[in-house]
Structures are given as structure tokens and as C-alpha cells.
Amino acid sequence: MIKINKENDITFLTASVTDFADSLGYCEYKIPLSIKGVRPKPSQSLIQGTRAHHAEEKYEAEHAELEPVSIEQIEDKEKDIEFARENIHSTLIMPFEFPKENVLLTLSGRIDKILRVDETLIVQDDKFAGRPQIYDNKTQPYPSQLLQVLTYLNSSFSSKRKPDVDDFFEMPHTQKKWQIRICDRKTREPYKVFSEIQDAFSLHYLHVSLQKFTTISIGMSEPEHHNSVNKCNACNLKSFCDYRI
């Protein structure tokens, strides 16, 4: 849920990474609904995907031997390190100065997988699809999927869900890379992988999207409609939305 609080001359805007990625990557009209506290009933697809995530986390815990990561290892960018699945939380904090308002945006999430290999910081997100074949002809992930991993890549990290200032850590690196694995929901095996090094274009795309999310949330701009009947029909918020088509 998107929350807005004003203290003195600063507006504090807080949301989950999912709130941001779904609204800017799928439908901007999700923003006002989230601010109102509208929460749809979880779809069967979401429930099954969550179960697959939990099963993958359990499998790694039982079969993978990951050594504890020390602060010294984290700070040495030449050290390859890998954290256990869903063990690292992300926090992206972005200030915006508008003519009539100063806003501090905070997005929080939990990363499926984060590691550093050959001085490259890698964030991996798994999507468990009932029919992964629908991705056969796609050359890029969906915008919401891309915004999610880009947000993670440019966040601060912590092993705690609600970290204090001293709980955050940085992972020195030479470059950043995102990976989106499309997995078969039944077998949990990767079916297709999208992956790229973060460049100036993708970083600009993230920043523009963050700013647009902020301006819509605080009422400085209006949401833009995607004008897609298929998107509206597939949306789990369509029964609550006055702008569905």
C-alpha cells in the first residue's frame, strides 16, 4: 500500500517495490487505488507463484551449502559472494525537489537472489509461469519486471526487513547486472532468462519512472491510461476501478 505523510515542508512517500513496478509497468491507475487502501483478493496465479517461491527457497536451504558472508567479504569487491535466497531486503530512497513541494520517496522490497561475481553485482528475480511458452517470442521482459530488478539493483541492502541506519550495507562492484528467470511453475526449472548489464539508458528509464510514480502519487500529475482491454480484463483490480475499459 502506498502511504503519504507530510512533516513540515517534506512529503514522505513510502511504497513497496511491487507497488511501484506494477503501477508504472502495468497500469498507472493502480496508484490511486493503492493510496485508498484497496487490496484485491490474491489470484490463483499469485498463490501458486508464491508457493513456488517458498518451495525454491526451501530447496536451496536443504541442498545448497552457502558459507556465511562476512563484512570483510562484502566490502572487498574482488570477492565473489552469494546470499541465500530471499535473505536480503532492499530500500531505495530518492529525494525529489519540485517547485512547490519536496518529496522523499522510499521503496522497500525483498530480493529473490543477490550475488557478486567477477566484480559484477547481480540481482536475480524469478517469475513462475503456468505457461512459460508465452515468453517464446519475447526479446525483453515486461516493463514491470524490468522496473522491479532495476529498483533492486539501485537500492541499499540489509538482512533485516525493517533496518536501522546502521543495518544497511553496500556491495562494491565494477558493474551491475539484472537477471529475470522465467521458470516453469510445475518443475520450477528455468525456461527462459532475460539478462543485461545496467546501462545509462536503463538507469534513465528507472529515474523517469520513479519521478512519474511520485508526481502521480502526490497529485501533481494524472495517471495515463494504457487503453488496453486485455490489460483491464487481466487486472485483479478491475472490479474496483472506475477507469476500466
Specify if 47 maps to a domain.
yes
pLDDT confidence band for 128 (50 / 70 / 90)? very high
Please compute the mean of the pLDDT values over residues 223-237 and round it to a whole number.
93
Q: What is the CATH number of the domain that holds 208?
A: 3.90.320
Read off the pLDDT of residues 135-179 as tens digits, 9 standing for 90 and up.
Answer: 999 999 999 999 999 999 999 999 988 888 888 998 999 999 999
Residue 32's CB is within 10 A of a number of other CB atoms, namely: 19
**Three cell numbers at 38?**
484497496
Specify if 193 maps to a domain.
yes
- pLDDT confidence of residue 210: 98
Task: Please tell me which residue, 191 or 44, carries the higher pLDDT value.
Answer: 191
Residue with cell 493503492: 34
**Three cell numbers at 12?**
514522505
Specify if 194 maps to a domain.
yes
- Domain of 115 in residue numbering reads as 3-240
Specify if 168 maps to a domain.
yes
Q: What is the DSSP letter of 173?
A: -
pLDDT at 181 over 90: yes
Q: Who contacts 150 (Cβ-Cβ below 8 Å, separation ≥6)?
A: 178, 198, 202, 203, 205, 206
Specify if 245 maps to a domain.
no
- Between CA 149 and CA 113 the distance in angstroms is 10
**Global model pTM greater than 0.95:** no
Read off the pLDDT of residues 89-121 as tens digits, 9 standing for 90 and up.
Answer: 999 999 999 998 999 999 999 999 999 999 999
pLDDT confidence band for 63 (50 / 70 / 90)? low
Specify if 65 maps to a domain.
yes
Specify if 68 maps to a domain.
yes
- Between CA 239 and CA 230 the distance in angstroms is 14
- pLDDT confidence of residue 53: 80
- Number of structural domains the chain divides into: 1
Specify if 112 maps to a domain.
yes
The b-or-e profile of 146-161 (16+ CB within 10 A means b, else e) is bbbbbbbbbbebbeee
- pLDDT confidence of residue 131: 94
Asked if 15 and 28 count as a contact pair (C-beta separation under 8 A), the reply is no
Q: DSSP string of 101-141?
A: EEEEEEEEEEESEEEEETTEEEEEEEEEES-GGGGTT-SS-
